[in-house]
Chain A
Amino acid sequence: MKAKETFLKWLDGDFDLLAHVADTDEHPDPGRAELKREKRHINRRIDSSKAEHRVERAEEKGFYALYTLVAVVSCVFLIGILLFTISSLPRYGVENPETTEVVRRYVENGLEETGAVNIVAGMILDYRAFDTLGESHVLFTALICVTILLRIDNKNMQSRYEDYFKIRMERYHELTGESIAKIVGMVLIPSIFLYGIYVLLNGQNGPGGGFSGGTVMGAGLIIFAATYGFDCVDRVFTAKRLNLLTFCALGFYSFAKGYVFFMGQNGYENHIPKGTPGAILSGGLILPLDIAVGLVVACTMFGFYSLFRRGSIGGGWKSDREL
């Protein structure tokens, strides 16, 4: 009741609130003294932390100087090593029986032995097929590592509802907004996929092959997911299908190439038709292996994007059903 009266008085201009505050300094009440003490304490703490910061900053300065020095020294060291290595390489374009023996074998007998017009494809998918198998496995392993690091599910969500609603909002924006991006995507995406498939299927005849075609297709998938939303892609690419596809492609590659190497090592005929060079169905195993590598690469690229963007592949979002 007293507060109301004071307030009304203050409204009329009869009462000065600050005068009352000034009064209390003369009659110190315990709460106010405590507040003052606290304030002093806090100020002292701030000062001391400032001093600490100053010390830290000085230490950091020393650290950065050391860091720059080490960086420069290691850079110069690396450049020196690389230049030294280059200086000991044979000259470009000069015949040298020691280093060009394998190359000449590839160029002269490559078409005959592999059936591929594109010698590079013949090299990486026939002569050195195990290299490419290793590369595909590296990609697969990278996808697994990214899954381990970035996957979000009920167990490791920070705050379950917040994350969930953030993703819901993103999905809403994907479905409703940005019509320019969608129209551009409508024109671009089919051509990107066609180009990717063309590059993939013509690996034995022209430039391209599994890795290039696969990355182009993966980029197309990423653009599709970015413009039309993950819901469209999720109808085709669930996590299970993606894993199954990758597994089948890698398994097929391993078995096919294992068979060929086994037969070749033991001196048997491997009964894989070479086809006429230049046609799409030529080059023996190169075309199927290209397709396998391309599938692995495309799945991996899309999986990376999906995991980076929302922490799951193919909408394996558990709480989607629970909530």
Chain B
Amino acid sequence: MLAEIIKVLLLLLLIVCAVSVNFTKSLLQSVIIFMAYSSIMCIIWVLMESPDLAITEAAVGAGISSVLFLLTLRKIRETDRGEDGGEEA
């Protein structure tokens, strides 16, 4: 019974995360919510008895792809700042 409740809660959280990624203004917040989504998905995989997928989800979804997103954000900000600076100078 408890397991069922936890499952439903996790699925609801999943939907909340998926929707709120679209409605946040800040890109950094979207990336963090995406990480939370992957972590929740990882727990759901464990509950669905596929631990190998859970390992991969934790490493790729919450780890590597988020790192790549963050690096991309940094690159975008750098180029933005560079262009602004050029206009001012």
Interface size, B (range): 10 to 19
- A-B contacts, CB under 8 A, total: 45
- Cβ of B64 and Cβ of A211 under 8 Å apart? no
Of the candidates B51, B55, B64, B71, the one whose C-beta lies within 8 Å of that of A218 is B64
B82 vs chain A, min Cβ distance (A):
8
B59 lies within 8 A of A219 (CB): yes
Q: Are the CB atoms of B64 and A212 closer together than 8 Å?
A: no
Which A-chain residue is minimally distant from B60 (CB atoms)?
A215
Q: Which of B64, B68, B71 contacts A215 (CB 8 A)?
A: B64
Contact B72 A308 (CB under 8 A): yes
Nearest-CB residue, chain A, relative to B51: A207
Name the interface residues of B9-53: CB closer than 8 Å to any CB of A.
50-52
Judge if A208 is at the interface, Cβ distance under 8 Å: yes
Chain B residue, CB-CB nearest to A195: B55
List residues of B whose CB falls within 8 A of some A CB.
50-52, 54-56, 59-60, 63-64, 67-68, 71-72, 75
Given A207-B54, A216-B59, A218-B64: 18 more A-B contacts, CB < 8 Å: A120-B52, A207-B51, A207-B52, A209-B52, A212-B52, A215-B55, A215-B56, A215-B63, A215-B64, A219-B59, A222-B63, A222-B64, A222-B67, A304-B64, A304-B68, A305-B64, A305-B67, A308-B72
A interface residue numbers (CB < 8 A to B): 118, 120, 199, 207-209, 211-212, 215-216, 218-219, 222, 301, 304-305, 308-309
